[in-house]
Structures are given as C-alpha cells and as structure tokens.
Amino acid sequence: MIKPFGSDKLNPLYVADDAKRKALIKEAEGLPSVVISSAAAGNAVMLGSGYFNPLKGYMNVADAVSVAEKMQTTSGLFWPTPVLNVLKDASAIKGAKRIALRDPNVEGNPVLAIQEVEAIEEISADKMKLMTEKVFRTTDMKHPGVNAFNSVGNIAVSGPIQVLGYSYFEKEFPETFRTATQLRDVIAKRGWKEVVAFQTRNPMHLAHEELVKMAMKEYNADGAVIHMLLGKLKAGDIPADVRDASIRKMVELYFEPNSVEIAGYGFDMLYAGPREAVLHAIFRQNMGATVLIVGRDHAGVGDYYGGFDAQTIFDDVPKGAMDIKIFRGDHTVWCKKCDKVVMMRDCPHGKDDYIMLSGTKVRDMLAAGEDLPREFSRPEVARILMAYYKSEAGKA
C-alpha cells in the first residue's frame, strides 16, 4: 500500500486507548480551557483522523507564514496551507502549559483535544494579509474562505495536541465518517492496490460519475473512494445528508458491485482552490489512495481561480514530495454524437455537438422544480435532490 505522506507509518493524533483517553478527559476538567473556532476544530479532527499526518499539532506563526509563502514549514516539510488554532482572546489560557480545547460545534462545548502550549503569538495585520493573499489568491472578504480565515481572531496558539473525539461527525454521519486509518484498513481488506479518490462537496451528477469511471479505467484501478466533505460549507450548498443519499443511490445503481467505498471526512471547506487541491492530495495519500481526481475549478468558488489552476499548481510541487498521482480532468460535456459524457480533449467532435454541463444550471432547474435531462443527472439521483429542494421551498 502507498506510504502515508511524510512518514513511514500513519500517526493519527486521536488517543485510541480507552484508559488513556478517559484519564485525559478527567485531566481536562482541571485545565484552563477555551472554545476554539470551527476551523480549528476541523483541524483537530483531521489531525486526530490521521489525514494531516505527519503534523503533530497547530503551527506557530513562523511555520504558518512559511507555508503560505513557500508551501513548506520552517523545517522544510512540504505543506500547502496553514494549520492554525487562532483565537480572538487568549486571556483565559495566559501562562498555561496545557489547555483544553472545547468544541464550538457541539452543544455544551465538550473537550475536543488537549494542547501543549508552545507559544501564544499575535499575528500582525501584515502577516494575516500575506497569508490570505498567498493561500486564497485574494483578500476579498466576499470570498467565503477569506472571510472565515480573517474572522476568527489574530492570536495563534501553537503546539502538539492529543485528540479526544471527532466532534459531531461520528454521531451525525455514522455510516459515512471514516478516519484515514479506517480507510486504509478498508482498502487493505478489499485487496485494492490502485485506488482512485474523488473529492466532493456537492451531489454527484452524471459528469462526476463518468469522471470517476474514466480515472479508474486510465489507471486500471481496483476501486474508488468517493470522499465527501462533511463540515461547514457556504450558504446555498447542499447539506451532507442529502449529498450522501444521492451518492449512495448513484453508486448502488451505476457502479460495479464492491468497486466503490463511500466515505466522508470532518473538515470545513476552505474554498482555497489550488492550495486546497494540494491539501486534498496529501490527505488522500494518507488514507491510502494512489490517484486523486482534480477536475475543473477544484475546490474553487466564484471566479477567483482559473478553471485549471488547481491542476497546474501540481507542476510546482517538489519532485518526490508526494507519491499520489493526479488525474487531471478536462471540461466534461454531453456529446450528442457520442451520446454520452466526454472530456472535450478526448472527443473528436465540435462545440455544436456539445451540451455544457453546468452545476449552476442544475441547481436553478432543481430550485424551479424542473426535471433534469438525462444529460445532467441520473433520474434516481435527481429525484432525491428535487425532494430536498421542494422541502426547502416549503420552508420559505
């Protein structure tokens, strides 16, 4: 199986030993504590799950700035995005060596992790701006990722963590949430060697389905992991439970039996386009995938990134930094002459033969209660999505 990123062995930061975990939970009751941001909680879940291997905790300001500027930490580890615990007010933990991190996304704010405090640093306005520009390629506060990154404060608390839970993800998505360790176990049990990973924060329409099948064919893959984001999204995105139901129906009806694993991970979307695509590649390698599909405008939002910027950034990844391969998806269209979804680069026909597949158009049609044509979506998937949009319209 493919090695984890940055180490020979996966080192998830979740405390799996029951006795040790219970002792730490008891210790946390007497520690200074702070309710962290949703972004920091997502980072803790990803560290606990093994997806952010080989990181041991939250970065200090020097590492975060170095990662933003050069995609590497001060020690030289290749990494594409800052992994921070940023607060607005650190007075409750001043002088503390160990602190309890409380979950902002679960009622009662239970302890999510214990952190050893190596430094508490104020991030200057200039450094916040630099990180924002480098990671998101814009400082526009209308960009949801920029807004989230710049709204949680400017006091960075760095140091290693011990993770005591997976926030709300295990409870709310018991059939879908999986750690990197669990997915490695699944892949090993199935005997898969070549494994394609498909990232999604949206329902999968016909073009997405075909993209997975194209990548599996090109790499002669044994299986695919459809890996959906379960954390916070921007307004207007379809909730995880609806996406989950529609994807499961598509896989059940249109993929070979036992060829696809459906799973999800606990993280808030960054909408950081190219930088987030590289992050996706790292944690897919950690979960055991050998190929990541990077399509048009991967992890993008609005028109902040070029359609294929999330692919060309991999040209800048240092040789040998990652073992995972990248399948670069082209524009997908329905070709009337081929009578199927094709990538434009692979099709001999011209634009007059194409029906463009627009996610925005699909959402508009669903919101209007219109049936989706076969060129856009499987009918069984469309029915699930239409039921959701109908229920939302009823609440308005």
**Token pair of 17 as six digits:** 């030993």
Which domains are present in the chain?
A: 18-170 (3.10.400.10), 175-395 (3.40.50.620)
Partners of 98 in the β-ladder? 116
Q: State how far the Cα of 379 lies from the Cα of 333, in Å rounded to an integer.
A: 18
Mean pLDDT of the chain, nearest integer = 94
- Look at the block and give the residue holding tokens 């970065």: 59
345 counts as catalytic: no
- Span 293-318, pLDDT tens digits: 999 889 999 999 999 999 999 999 99
Q: State how far the Cα of 13 lies from the Cα of 292, in Å rounded to an integer.
A: 24
- Does this model's pTM top 0.85? My answer is yes
Looking at residues 349-377, what average pLDDT do you find? 82
What DSSP line would sit under 211-242, residue for residue? HHHHHHHHTT-SEEEEEEE-S---TTSPPHHH
Phi, psi of 205, rounded to the nearest 5 degrees: -95, -175
Among the listed residues 21, 202, 248, 328, the single catalytic one is 202
Side-chain-side CA neighbours of residue 43 (13 Å): 25
Residue 396 has pLDDT above 70, yes or no: no
Phi, psi of 275, rounded to the nearest 5 degrees: -65, -40
201 counts as catalytic: yes
Among the listed residues 21, 98, 190, 201, the single catalytic one is 201
What DSSP line would sit under 25-82, residue for residue? HHHHTTS-EEEPPHHHHHHHHHHHHTTTTT--EE--HHHHHHHHHHSB-TT--B-SS-
Q: State how far the Cα of 267 lies from the Cα of 190, in Å rounded to an integer.
A: 26
- Span 168-190, pLDDT tens digits: 999 999 999 999 999 999 999 99
